[in-house]
Structure 1
Amino acid sequence: MGVVIPLEDKSADHLIEPLMALVADDMDRVNTTILSRTGSEVTMIPEVANHLISSGGKRLRPILTLASAGLCGYAGAGHVKLAAAVEFMHTATLLHDDVVDESDMRRGKAAARMLWGNEASVLVGDFLLGQAFKMMVEVGSLPCLEVLSSAAVVIAEGEVMQLSAAKDTETTEEAYLAVIRAKTSALFAAACEVGPILAARSRAEIAACRDYGANLGIAFQLIDDALDYGGSSARLGKNTGDDFREGKITLPVVLSFRRGSTEERDFWRRTLERGEIADGDLEFALAAMKKRRALEDTIERARHYGAMARDALELFPASPWRHALHEAVEFAISRAH
């Protein structure tokens, strides 16, 4: 059985539409907030920030903040600023990531660092983090500030963990999962946790929303890992095989290396550790992954975490919000179908 990779860019998009419809009005307010908070007399700041912010993307993380608040019956306005703060945190990490990874593309466009340089990308990322924390303070919820600031620390730790494990083909699956729990899952978890906190829900419900976000975040990242070796560049917003060319150790590589022959392991060491990539090497990598079922099993792992995310929401009664959040899990995973 081979890996089924999407050929159309919108094959899974209908699954996220129920959630987007529920949060549409609030999302308009979030977008207005985002635009107002990227303003600065330093002209390069809005230029760099809006290059990435306006370049598309589903804005899934702020949508999850709004949805978790809706699921829990929150009736105030604080979730809008927190959702904008979550998006700024995410955008800042993307700006920083592209510098660390030396990426040329982001969301189908030239990465900000290619247009304004590495220094500007890092500094504008810092500006957005500062704005994010200003909005958190304005909301006035110390528990929400604690959750999001803790997530910022964990994300930074994840970046450093990934840097220290870079190009290390001996990385274990457990070590790799620790990186994505920090780098990706932590912000998904925090985005979902602040809604029930604002709504003053029980500790059990807060934990359920956090668990939903954490597991969804892992599933989302694992599908991204698989798509890098089999998706279209239009869908990915970057070039297919970028992870390979950048020497990134992702789960498909971890599984392929562990299961591979001596020849295959030597190949991974040459290409990823030493960066000696020749014509035809990406095709060899794909063939090795297919032979070792690395992509199929990465997608299976994602399904496992997706099931855990859905189960976390069973604590809540049936509602359009819960149904839409279940569908969001299907959206994350169905990108690989």
Structure 2
Amino acid sequence: MAVIVNLETGRDKQPDALDRLTQLVRDDLDRVNELILQHMQSPVSLIPQLAGHIIAAGGKRLRPVLTLAAARLCGHPGPRAAGLAACVEFIHTATLLHDDVVDESDLRRGEASANVLWGNKASVLVGDFLFSRAFQLMVADGSLRILEILCSASAKIAEGEVLQLMTTNDTATTEQAYLEVIKGKTAILFSAACEVGAVLADRPKSEQEALASFGLNLGIAFQLIDDALDYSAKQEALGKKIGDDFREGKITLPVILAFLRGDKTEREFWRRTLEHQEQKGGDLAEAQRLIAKHNALSDTVQRAAYYGAVARDALGIFPDSADKRALIEVVDFCIRRGH
């Protein structure tokens, strides 16, 4: 059964930095979208319906764009890059389906989540289907090294999600443990998405490692800013929902810093609301007040700026080009979201 999916969601609303990077890879990205539509089809009608819902809500396609841009940076645009970019997007989308079930999320980018519309069982199984499609694309590419990179990333993503389950509701979580969570659940796919661009171009190991480092540190910075925005008055002023992490009891860096810097009464507040999930009206506002009191948001943004600087430096071995400049601009944009 064919399903029509709008893959242009958000194009006109993209910030300039992302738009410039996307325009550089536009032709290849159109091919990626064709491959996504082609490979999400199934005679089991529920699969393309549910997959189309989550894929259409997929936002900026940042991860596949990074694969395409990394390949261009290394002198290898073309069909192989498009296939691998589609593979990366399927891995990402599968994890979103599974995450929404685990987190019991009702919304995904302002729309009803797939698990609300079709139920948890269907969401998990369609996530599995998309993982399988991703592996089919990897095998079709034929590179054992790329297969190794993306399979390893898929395993580490699962480890990151399990580690997040272990740290949820635990106010004793350290900053190091938190960083391990976001490396696994977010940054490792950024890293793999960039690294495969250099591998398919058969570039030297130094360039492969540089792009892997760029992606990893960009991913860490990206998630740090996302976690800061969940408590940010700036996000609230834009009319976007805040406090999901708080309601779910997730231990993110703003909370870790506020907890460590707080007094006994403040720490009891965090234990009540996050460990015991005893939340009442006004608790989110109090959480925001304590986080602001201890400069936890600004310090989280500073941490992100550090990882952003590491990401920019990783591109230093590449000669100047429009692709390199656009990738650096994306790093800067990700950090600026937190200001």
Q: Residue 141 of structure 1: CA displacement?
A: 0.9
Cα separation, 2, equivalents of 1:19 and 1:124: 30
Cα contact 2:17–2:329 (8 A) shared by 1: yes
What is the SS of the residue equivalent to 2:90? helix
Q: Look up the match of 2:224.
A: 222
Partner residue, 2:92: 90
Q: Aligned-pair distance for 1:166? A: 1.2
Structure 2, gaps ≥5 residues long: 1-11
* Equivalent residue runs for 1:85-124 within 5 Å: 85-124=87-126
Could you report, residue by residue, the CA deviation over 1:221-264 in whole angstroms, capped at 9, with x for unpaired residues?
0000001111536979x731011001111111111111111111
The counterpart of 2:246, out of the listed 244, 247, 270, is 244
In structure 2, relative to structure 1, the CA distance for the partners of 1:118 and 1:233 (3 Å cut) is farther
Please report the TM-score for the alignment, with normalisation by the length of structure 1.
0.94
What are the Cα deviations for residues 123-162 of structure 1, in whole angstroms up to 9, with x where unaligned? 0000000000000100111111100000001011111111
Instruction: Decide which of 19, 22, 27 is 1:20's aligned counterpart.
Output: 22
Shift of 1:118: 0.6
What is aligned with 1:153? 155
Residue 330 of structure 2 is matched in structure 1 by: 328
- Please identify runs of 4+ aligned residues in structure 1 that moved more than 2 A: 231-236
1:86-142 Cα offsets, whole Å, 9 max, x none, are 000000001001111111111111111011011111000000000000001001111
Given that 1:185 and 1:217 are in contact with CA atoms closer than 8 Å, whether structure 2 keeps it comes out as yes
- Distance in 2 (CA, whole Å) between partners of 1:249 and 1:113 is 24
Is 2:28–2:77's contact at 8 Å kept on the other side of the alignment?
Answer: no
- The answer for the alignment partner of 2:135 in structure 1 is 133
CA distance in 2, matches of 1:86, 1:235: 30
Aligned twin of 1:48: 50
1:62-84 CA deviation, whole Å, 9 max, x = no partner?
Answer: 00000000000014421111000
Percent identity between the two aligned chains: 59
Match of 1:72 among 68, 74, 88: 74
Give how far 1:331 is off. Answer: 1.6
Cα distance in 2 for partners of 1:192, 1:210 equals: 6
**Normalised by the size of structure 2, how large is the TM-score?**
0.94
C-alpha separation in 2, matches of 1:11 and 1:307: 26
Aligned residues: 327
Correspondent of 1:31 among 30, 33, 43? 33
SS of residue paired to 1:16: helix
**In 2, Cα distance between the equivalents of 1:122 and 1:276?**
29
Equivalent-residue separation in structure 2 for 1:275 and 1:76 (angstroms): 50
Which residue identity lines up with residue 205 of structure 1 in the other structure?
E
Shift, 1:35, TM fit = 0.7
- Counterpart of 1:232 (choices 232, 235, 254) is 235
> Residue 279 of structure 1: which of 278, 281, 298 is its match?
281
Contact 2:68 / 2:77 at 8 angstroms: preserved in 1?
no
Distance in 1, matches of 2:18 and 2:144, equals 31
The alpha carbon displacement at 1:56 in A equals 4.4
Q: Is the alpha carbon distance of 1:55 and 1:75 closer, same or farther for their aligned partners in structure 2, counting shifts above 3 Å?
A: closer
CA contact (8 A) 1:33 1:84 kept: yes
Q: Pick from 189, 208, 215: which aligns with 1:187? A: 189
The letter of the residue matching 2:108 is R
**Cα RMSD (Å):** 1.5
| Residues 166-218 of structure 1: CA deviation (Å, up to 9, x unaligned) | 11000000010011111111000000000110000000000000000000000
SS at match of 2:25: helix
Q: Which runs of 5+ in 1 are unaligned?
A: 1-9
